[in-house]
Structure 1
Amino acid sequence: MISKEQERILREYLSGQESPEGKALFDQWAQSLYEDSSLQPSDTEEALAKVQQEIWLKVSAKKVSSIIRLASSWGLRAGMAASLLLISLLAWKWIDRYNQPVPEYELSYQTIKTKAGEHATVTLEDGTQVFLNGASSLRFPTKLLGQTRHVYLEGEAYFEVTHNPQQPFVVSSKHLNTTVKGTTFDVHDYAQDIQANVTVLTGKVAVEMANNRTSNCLILPNQTCIYQKGKAVLEQSNVEDARESISWRERKIYFKRERMGLVFRKLERMYAVSFRIKNPQLLDCTWIASFENASLEEVLQLMQSSLGIQYQIKGKEVIITGICQ
């Protein structure tokens, strides 16, 4: 059986969204039909109609590969019209390739993960460099084939993308799809945060919502595109210095009227601790502060003096009491 992630990729490819992984999945499917000796098409329209009928019978009967079984169940759910469109697309692509060598693709992906407090650097096949922040992961193909260079991010990363206008670079994260041709930018998109954003240092970046492609923005250096949970649109704004968005690479922290809920999450990722907040009202307070190579104790001491809260460190847990003054 194929995974839910492969099912999603195949659906997107069959709906017209090209990707190397989608093409490889489709080719596996087509090859299973190509190797079926009961199907021997020619170049005639009659042959095309025959193949369509044969494919439909096989899909309905669920007699071919696990990918065909996937397509059958999806087609039945989507309705007869979608199923016929799927069959026509498969038959056309397959017959167009008849009597030609069938390329063999091996879907080869690698995943790099970091724990809280860790950083990692990844160099992709094309020379693109990716710097992962703590509690993040990057899934990427070992070979950057196809029309796009497509990677998948959970958390935060800074990208220095090798310029290639013929093969755009796409970063898919929890809430955003980010497309560039060669630039430097930061993607901050943790699943547990209420806000995600992309900030550009050099070049030009297109950003769209993962589940609403009508909402998008095109941003330039010192601009950011912001996603807020619960909103159906992206917001674009200017920033004073985009380099602050990647200050985490040098163990620097900037809080500019940051809500304390987000402050604690950032500190958890940086110092590999967990916070227990006794008074939930504290999470709605805001804080202005900046640090460079500061210890956790130094950060908490400033928080105590400026906000009036109290803290207690027990191993990897920090207990916070009080309310901001």
Structure 2
Amino acid sequence: MEEKMIDIISRSLGGQPTTSDEKQELETWLNENGNKRFYEGLEMFSANSKEALRLPQANVERAFEKYLGKMQQSRTALRMRLIKKAMPYAASVLLMLGLFSVMMYLGNSDSGIAKQEQWLAAIEPGSQKAELILDDGEVLNLEEKKEKDEIKEKDGTVISNTGSALVYDVSAKTDNQKITYNSLVVPRGGEYQLQLEDGTKVWVNSETRLRYPTQFADNKRMVLLEGEAYFEVSKDKNRPFIVKTQGVDVRVLGTHFNISSYADEDAIRTTLVEGSVSVMDNKNPDENLLLSPGHQAVFSKKSGDLENKKVNVDLYTSWKDGKFVFQESSLTDIMNRVSRWYDVKVFYQNKEAGDLNFTGTLKRYESLDRLLGMIEKTNEVKFLFKDKTIIVQRK
């Protein structure tokens, strides 16, 4: 019966005659769940048959095998065989639209839609989670601490863990002890807060490592940052606060600012909210900028240049307040943030898609499908999903 149905559908798509009984069988098959929409997709392909005949069929078939893989369900297997049967008619359109377009036709069946919805439902936004690495190398999983807890270090430092933040208290620490260091490591899909011993508050973003002393020295306060963090630095005119990154040092006395210094991005951005900061190339101290509020220092890793830009600070600091804010932001920049926060991979079917610009605001704890749905409404791109990977397709 299956072979017969394939033959009937193939002849129907090719404009070849069918009997009245065969037409009735085809009508019955079309009324089954999801088949009519699939058939309409094949009709669109067959409309371009003349051009298609000049294109190689074998390469397209191999590509189908690669992307669709082994299919176990009889309905899907039948559709796969139908596509191959109709390949002489469909090849040109398939190559023009890209293989993922055909996957969308397959996905438009109820089972395909359900699988995509299940995939999106399984992708949850980030949460408060991190690892604390103590000076002696002990690693504590902060996500597992559900209630307020205290961590006591050997030097007398007491660290209170609320489940979303660490607070350092050195009142019990004895004098004349060597400086000890902790590291807060926040994974993809995580964020955490920290209050250092001087009262400085730090919001630490996804995929970030912050190394800091449990008690600062008498002449300066210094921390090391890889990733992104927002600082509210307690004022201390006798001890400058210095954030060191793999490119620039940011020096302040007391202020609010954000630093983004991810290793996979081409620039380090220091955005000032209030107060003042000095940003210096740590390999060339003569190259430095003094920022005023509402400005951003952009350090190019490739050229070593420092640029002072007037910016909307919300675009760079809203993450700590639970929001995504975009203003003419490239899709590449948006999806970089999405991939870290939702812990997914992103693949661009073509480079042009990543260069598109979008504007909008969304709560950081919204579901992933809402964010992607807002972008899709622009009719500029389409998102496909496979194995925790978002495939970006230009429309």
* Pairwise TM-score range, normalised by the shorter structure: 0.5 to 0.7
Shift of 1:104: 6.9
Shift of 1:155: 0.7
| Separation (CA, whole Å) in 2 of partners of 1:229 and 1:272 | 25
**Aligned equivalent of 2:347, options 261, 276, 285:** 276
Q: TM-score, normalised by structure 1?
A: 0.63
- Indicate yes or no: 2:181 matched with 1:109: yes
Identity value in percent: 27
Shift of 1:307: 4.7
Q: Is the 8 A contact 2:276 2:293 kept in 1?
A: yes
Change (3 A) 1:165 1:307: farther
For residue 263 of structure 2, what is the aligned residue in structure 1?
A: 191
**Aligned equivalent of 1:309, options 361, 381, 387:** 381
For residue 162 of structure 2, what is the aligned residue in structure 1?
A: none
CA RMSD of aligned residues (A): 1.9
Q: Is the 8 A contact 2:208 2:227 kept in 1?
A: yes
Change (3 A) 1:308 1:284: closer
Shift of 1:260: 2.3
Shift of 1:231: 2.6
For residue 32 of structure 1, what is the aligned residue in structure 2?
A: none
| Separation (CA, whole Å) in 1 of partners of 2:284 and 2:328 | 29
| 1:117 partner letter | G
Question: After superposition, where does 1:165-176 map in structure 2 within 5 Å?
Answer: 165-176=237-248
- Indicate yes or no: 2:357 matched with 1:286: yes
Q: Is the 8 A contact 1:174 1:190 kept in 2?
A: no
| 1:229 partner letter | K
- Indicate yes or no: 2:224 matched with 1:126: no
| Separation (CA, whole Å) in 2 of partners of 1:273 and 1:223 | 31
For residue 186 of structure 1, give the secondary structure of its aligned residue in structure 2. Answer: strand
For residue 234 of structure 1, what is the aligned residue in structure 2?
A: 306
For residue 258 of structure 2, give the secondary structure of its aligned residue in structure 1. Answer: strand
Cα displacement string for residues 77-130 of structure 1 (whole angstroms, at most 9, x for unaligned residues): xxxxxxxxxxxxxxxxxxxxxxxxxx9753411000111221111111111111
Question: After superposition, where does 1:66-215 map in structure 2 within 5 Å?
Answer: 106-215=178-287
For residue 243 of structure 2, give the secondary structure of its aligned residue in structure 1. Answer: strand
| Separation (CA, whole Å) in 2 of partners of 1:283 and 1:218 | 33
Shift of 1:215: 1.6
For residue 377 of structure 2, give the secondary structure of its aligned residue in structure 1. Answer: helix
Cα displacement string for residues 281-317 of structure 1 (whole angstroms, at most 9, x for unaligned residues): 3223322232224321111112222152221233522
Change (3 A) 1:212 1:287: farther
| Separation (CA, whole Å) in 2 of partners of 1:316 and 1:106 | 46
Rg: which structure is higher?
2
Q: TM-score, normalised by structure 2?
A: 0.53
Q: Is the 8 A contact 1:200 1:220 kept in 2?
A: yes
Shift of 1:210: 2.5
| Separation (CA, whole Å) in 2 of partners of 1:281 and 1:243 | 27
For residue 306 of structure 1, give the secondary structure of its aligned residue in structure 2. Answer: coil
Q: Which runs of 5+ in 2 are unaligned?
A: 1-174
For residue 63 of structure 2, what is the aligned residue in structure 1?
A: none
- Total equivalences in the alignment: 220
